[in-house]
Amino acid sequence: MAVLPIRKFGDEILRQPAEAVTQFDSALQKLIDDMVDTMYAAPGVGLAANQVGVARRVAVIDLSVGKRRGELHVLVNPEIVETSGEITEEEGCLSVPDLVETVRRPESVTARYLDRSGEERRIFGQGLMARALSHEIDHLNGRLFVDRLRGLKRDRILKKIQKLAKAGMW
């Protein structure tokens, strides 16, 4: 198991729609284990494979950041099947470090996915779990939370990133 470097905003791989997983082999198991290690080390509550440079449809979510058993979700080829409501809350991303903004997301999300052994499963999330599901599935489609911002909020965060990049701090 290993902690992998996390790609930042501006890296092209974050913009590529990731490819579906078809083989549940040892390479996939290693990728998942490395992603979990990387998420906990960051620390973060979610991570998508393209954030560690692998354009495959794999995401991990653990709202407890490893503190509680049974809260780790490994989602292979996840798809949103239903959403309801809308809620605007503060949100960040390991690929946009130290910058947060309020983002509108569904209040509840139902997704279907395959677990790490290829079994079909469903998950229903509300609040922070709905936000995490929406955020990570966005990643797999090449979308970042800044893309969901409009107007002043969007300009503000993009300017901060530009400023950090100019100073060689990105």
Among 93, 103, 109, 129, binds Ni ion (CB under 5 A): 93
Output 93 or 103, the one with its CB closest to Ni ion. 93
Distance CA 97, CA 71 (A): 24
Distance CA 11, CA 88 (A): 27
Stretch that binds Ni ion, among 14-22, 75-83, 86-94, 120-128 (CB under 5 A): 86-94
Distance of alpha carbon 76 from its chain centroid, rounded?
12
Is residue 14 involved in binding Ni ion (CB under 5 A)? Answer: no
Is residue 32 involved in binding Ni ion (CB under 5 A)? Answer: no
Whether 136 is catalytic is yes
Is residue 35 involved in binding Ni ion (CB under 5 A)? Answer: no
Contact in structure between 109 and 82 (CB atoms under 8 Å) = yes
Stretch that binds Ni ion, among 6-14, 68-76, 92-100, 117-125 (CB under 5 A): 92-100
Cβ neighbors of 169 (< 8 A, separation 6 or more) are: none
Q: How many CB atoms lie under 10 A from the CB of residue 98?
A: 8
Is residue 60 involved in binding Ni ion (CB under 5 A)? Answer: no
Output 77 or 95, the one with its CB closest to Ni ion. 95
Least separation in angstroms between residue 82's CB and Ni ion is 22
**Closest-CA residue to 140 (of 32, 36, 59, 24):** 59
Output 9 or 113, the one with its CB closest to Ni ion. 9
Distance CA 157, CA 94 (A): 14
Interface residues toward Ni ion, by CB under 5 A: 93
